[in-house]
Structure 1
Amino acid sequence: MPIDCLAGLNARQQEAVRHHQGPLLVVAGAGSGKTRVITHRVASLIQEGVRPDRILAITFTNKAAGEMQERIEGLLGLKTPWITTFHSAGLRIMKLEQSRLGFEHPFTILDEDDQRRMLRRVVKEMELNPKDHDPRAVGSQISRWKNRLLTPDKVPAQDEYDTFLKIYYRYTELTQIECVVDFDDLLLRPVLMFEEDEELRQQYQERFPFVLIDEYQDTNEAQYRLVRLLGGHGNVCATGDPDQAIYGWRGADIHNILNFEKDFPGCTTVLLEQNYRSTQTILRAAQAVVEHNTQRKDKTIFSEKESGDPITLITVDDQDDEAMAVAAACQRLHDKDGRSYSDIAVFYRTNHQGRAIEEWLNRRGLPYRIVGATRFYDRAEVKDLLAYARLLINPRDQVSFERAVNTPRRGVGDRTLDIIRDMALDEECAIPDIFLDDSLLDRVAVGRASKPLRGLAHTWRRLHALDRADAARCLRAILDITGLEDYHLQDDPEKGQERLWNLGEVISAAEQFVATHADGGLAAYLDHVSLITAVDNRRGGEDEAVSLMTLHASKGLEYPVVFITACEQGVLPLVRHGATPDYEEERRLMYVGITRAQERLFLSRSVTRSQFGQTKRNPPSMFLAEIPDECIQHYDRSTIRSARGDIEDFREGPSYPIDSLARQLLDDAWSPEPMHERPAPPASSAPPQTAVDPETLRAQGLLTTGSALKAALRSKGSAQGLAASRSAKAAATADSAPIVLPGDPFQPGDMVVHQLYGPGHVRELQGPSNDRRIRIDFDDGTSREMFLHFVGDKLKRL
Structure 2
Amino acid sequence: MSATSTSIKLQKALDSLNLAQREAAKYADGAMLILAGAGSGKTKTITTRLAFLIDEVGIPAENTLTLTFTNKAAAEMRERALALLEHNFNVPPLLCTFHKFGLIFLRFFIHTLGREANFVVLDSDDKRAILKTLCDKKLQPAQCDYYISNMKNAALSPLEAFSYAHTDETKQMNRIYAEYERYLESKNLLDFDDLLYLTYKILSQDSNIAQKMSEQYQYIMVDEYQDTNEIQDKILKLLCVAHNNLCVVGDDDQSIYGWRGADVRNILNFQKAFDEVKVVRLEENYRSSEQILNAANALIAHNQNRLGKHLKSTKGTGADIRLIENDNESAEATFLAKDIAKLLAEGVNPSDIAILFRVNALSRSIEEGFNRARIPYKLIGAMRFYERAEIKDILSYLRLIVNPHDDYSFLRIINRPKRGVGKVGQESLEKLALSKNLSCFATLETYPDQSTQALGKKAYESVMELVSHIKCWQNLNDLSDLIESMQERIIFTFSKLDEVDRQGNIEEFYGMFGDYVIHNPTNTLVDFLNDLALASPTDEVIGEAVSCMSVHMAKGLEFKYLYVIGLEEGFFL
TM-score by length of 2: 0.68
Q: Who is 2:158 aligned against? A: 152
Q: Equivalences for 1:129-528 in 2 at 5 Å? A: 130-155=136-161, 156-159=164-167, 160-232=169-241, 233-335=243-345, 337-374=346-383, 414-415=422-423
SS of equivalent residue, structure 1 residue 140: helix
Q: How does 1:543-554 map to 2 (within 5 A)?
A: 543-554=543-554
Q: CA deviation at 1:72?
A: 1.3
Partner of 1:101: 113
Asked if structure 2 preserves the Cα contact closer than 8 Å seen for 1:287 and 1:301, the reply is: yes
Cα distance in 2, alignment partners of residues 249 and 137 from structure 1: 15
- Larger RCO, structures 1/2 (Cα 8 Å, 6+ apart): 2
The amino acid of 1:28's aligned partner reads A
SS in structure 1 at match of 2:323: strand
Partner of 1:628: none
Out of 104, 114, 120, which is 1:92 matched to? 104
* Paired AA for residue 350 in structure 1: V
How many angstroms apart in 2 are the aligned matches of 1:55 and 1:360?
49
2:137 maps to amino acid: K
Shift in Å at residue 319 of structure 1? Answer: 1.5
Q: Residues 141 and 26 (structure 1 numbering): CA distance in 2 closer, same or farther, change over 3 Å?
A: same
Matched residue of 1:312: which SS?
A: coil
Gaps of 5+ in 2: 390-420, 426-497, 506-539
* 1:26/1:272 contact within 8 Å kept: yes
- Note if contact 2:290-2:312 (Cα within 8 Å) is conserved in structure 1: yes
Change (3 A) 1:67 1:19: same
Indicate whether 1:36 and 2:44 are aligned: yes
| 1:132 alignment partner, SS class | coil
| CA deviation string 1:178-204 (max 9, x = no partner) | 433322121111212222222222121
Flag the 1:314–1:138 CA change in 2: closer, same or farther, 3 A: same
Q: What amino acid does structure 2 have at the position aligned with 1:560?
A: K
Deviation for aligned residue 1:120 = 4.8
What code does the residue aligned with 1:66 have? A
Identity %: 41
Structure 2 CA distance for aligned equivalents of residues 111 and 549 of structure 1: 21
Report the Cα distance in structure 1 between the residues aligned to 2:16 and 2:125, rounded to whole angstroms. Answer: 48
Which residue in 2 is equivalent to 1:703? Answer: none
Q: Is the 8 A contact 2:110 2:116 kept in 1?
A: no
- Contact 2:78–2:95 (CA<8 Å) still a contact in 1? yes
- Provide the C-alpha distance between the structure 1 equivalents of 2:180 and 2:371, rounded to a whole number of angstroms: 48
* Counterpart code for 2:155: L
Task: Kindly state the Cα deviation for residue 373 of structure 1 after the two structures are TM-superposed.
Answer: 2.5
Higher strand share: 1
Q: Which stretch of structure 1 is more off in the superposition, 195-204 or 302-311? A: 195-204
Match of 1:8 among 4, 16, 20: 16
Describe the superposition over 1:24-74 as per-residue Cα deviations: whole angstroms up to 9, x where unpaired: 111110001111111111000001211111001111111111111111121
Counterpart amino acid of 1:86?
F
- Equivalent pair of 1:27/1:272 in contact (CA under 8 Å): yes
**TM-superposed deviation, 1:220:** 0.8
Per-residue deviation, 1:118 = 4.4
What SS does the corresponding residue of 2:148 show, helix, strand or coil?
A: helix
Question: What is the one-letter code of the residue matched to 1:567?
Answer: L
Once the two structures are TM-superposed, the CA of residue 102 in structure 1 deviates from its matched residue by 1.6
Secondary structure, counterpart of 2:562 in structure 1: strand
How far off its partner does 1:346 sit? Answer: 1.4
Query: Does the 8 Å contact 1:116/1:139 carry over to 2?
Result: yes
Letter in 2 for 1:366: I
Residues 249 and 104 (structure 1), Cα distance of their counterparts in 2 relative to 1, 3 Å cut? closer
Q: CA deviation at 1:542?
A: 9.1
Q: Secondary structure at the match of 1:167?
A: helix
Aligned CA-pair RMSD: 2.8
Cα separation, partners in 2 of 1:315 and 1:115, compared to 1, 3 Å:
closer
Structure having the higher Rg: 1
Q: Which amino acid counterpart does residue 87 of structure 1 have in structure 2? A: H
Code of the aligned partner of 2:367: E
Q: Which residue type is aligned with residue 152 of structure 1?
A: P
Amino acid aligned to 1:181: L
Show CA shifts across 1:111-164 (max 9, x none): 34544454455x3xxxxx632244443233111110111111211132121111
**Take 1:552 and 1:371, find their aligned partners in 2: how far apart are those partners?**
11
**Larger relative helix fraction:** 2
CA distance in 2, matches of 1:192, 1:153: 14
Q: 1: CA distance between counterparts of 2:185 and 2:49?
A: 41
CA distance in 1, matches of 2:76, 2:541: 24
The residue number in structure 2 matching 1:459 is none
Inter-partner Cα distance in structure 2 for 1:272 and 1:541: 30
**How far apart are the structure 2 equivalents of 1:362 and 1:326?**
12
- Using the alignment, how far apart are the partners of 2:267 and 2:357 within structure 1? 27
Structure 1 residues 243, 309: CA separation in 2 closer, same or farther (over 3 Å shift)?
Answer: same
| Cα distance between partner residues in 2 of 1:557 and 1:104 | 38
Q: Secondary structure at the match of 1:271?
A: strand
Check 1:14–1:226 CA distance in 2 against 1; reply closer, same or farther (3 A cut).
same
Q: Quote the offset at 1:553 in angstroms.
A: 1.4
| Structure 1 contact 367–542 (Cα < 8 Å) conserved | no
Aligned residues: 414
CA-CA distance at 1:567 after TM superposition? 1.2
Any unmatched runs of 5+ in structure 1?
Answer: 124-128, 381-412, 418-529, 574-798
Tell me if the contact between 1:55 and 1:209 (Cα under 8 Å) persists in the aligned partners. Answer: yes
Partners of 1:238 and 1:541 lie apart in 2 by 29
Task: Tell me which residue corresponds to 1:571.
Answer: 571
In structure 2, C-alpha distance between the alignment counterparts of 1:369 and 1:91, rounded to whole Å: 31
Cα offset for 1:271?
Answer: 0.5
Is 1:58 the counterpart of 2:85? The answer is no
Equivalence for 1:425: none
In structure 2, the partner of 1:664 is none
Q: How far apart are residue 332 of structure 1 and its match?
A: 2.3
User: Using a 3 Å threshold, how does the CA distance of structure 1 residues 133 and 54 change in structure 2: closer, same or farther?
Assistant: same
TM-score by length of 1: 0.49
Question: Could you tell me how far apart the structure 2 residues matched to 1:248 and 1:198 are?
Answer: 31
Could you tell me how far apart the structure 2 residues matched to 1:349 and 1:271 are? Answer: 29
When structure 1 is superposed on structure 2, of 47-56 and 87-96 the one drifting more is 87-96
